[in-house]
Amino acid sequence: MELRQLEYLVAVVEEASFTRAAARLHVAQPGVSAQIRQLERELGHTLLDRSTRTVQPTQAGAAVLPHARAALQAVANTRVAIDELVGLLRGHVSVGTVAARGPVDLPGWLADFHHDHPGVEITLSEDSSDHLIDGLSSGALDVALIGLASTAPPGLAIQVVTDRPLVAIVGPGHPLADCREVRLADLADHPLITLPAGSGIRTALDDGFATAGLRQRIAFEASDPAVLSRLAASGLGIAILPAAETTATPPAHLREIAITHPPMRARLALAWRPDAPNGPATTALVQHMADRITS
């Protein structure tokens, strides 16, 4: 009996498919099948029911499965213990981020962490906040920078990075250009320029209009705040952005107007699952990023 065979068995059961298990393990599907057949011969029992479209463990397979998982976890823990003994961190961390990060130097954070822990593989993906939250909940992501309109999503721990009011950005020729503040109702008759649905800022905007019983006119959507500012500068509508958006500082000729009745806020937060079986690499990266937020 080999650890590789146990690993293949666990993967097939979790994926309910030889093909998907092989893809997950980055090996050829015939090799997975051959190794599990060899394991079945050694144990003298059929471990998997292959008679249906989805592969299921037999009674014998279900009995073996917890022992297989325990053996694999024991090996992983042994490697971690040795790495910790010599001060070497290994593993993989999947990071997600929204497009608009404000003053956060995420590339610098990750570069510093990689310098300190070169044995940790880091992957980074960009998506909307709602998709990032789904990724954290499903375990596809370990940590993410997300936009929040209100409270933290269930099951996630957060550390707020920025918390700013939403403002209206207009060009000098706009009818509202001389206003210092506007009510949300004053924006209802104007075309708005905003981030796509699923972003924290857009959710805050949508919630604000819904609470006020108003309908907004979304004329343009873009994921880059700088594009929103340029569209507003061209007179195409009112851009909705956090106050003093440093990734898209409005040119001097643009006007930043406070929004009241009701005021709206958008937060950028570091999020992770506190109840997930996080490895040392994920724990270290979360702490590293949290330290950068508070420093």
Beta strands 217-221 and 191-194, pairing class = parallel
Instruction: Give this prediction's pTM.
Output: 0.65
CATH classification at residue 31:
1.10.10.10
Q: Are residues 52 and 81 in the same domain?
A: yes
**Residue 130 sits in which domain range?**
91-295
Enumerate residues 6+ apart whose C-beta is below 8 A from 65: 9, 10, 13, 57
Q: Which pLDDT band, with edges at 50, 70 and 90, does 88 fall under? A: low
Question: 76-90, 182-196, 256-270: lowest mean pLDDT where?
Answer: 76-90
Q: Are residues 95 and 234 in the same domain?
A: yes
pLDDT digits (tens, 9 = 90+) for 28-58: 999 999 999 999 999 999 999 998 889 999 9
Cα 5 versus chain centre, distance = 33
Last-in-domain residue among 85, 104, 128: 85
Q: Which pLDDT band, with edges at 50, 70 and 90, does 80 fall under? A: low
- Are the C-beta atoms of 195 and 222 separated by less than 8 Å? yes
The domain total for the chain is 2
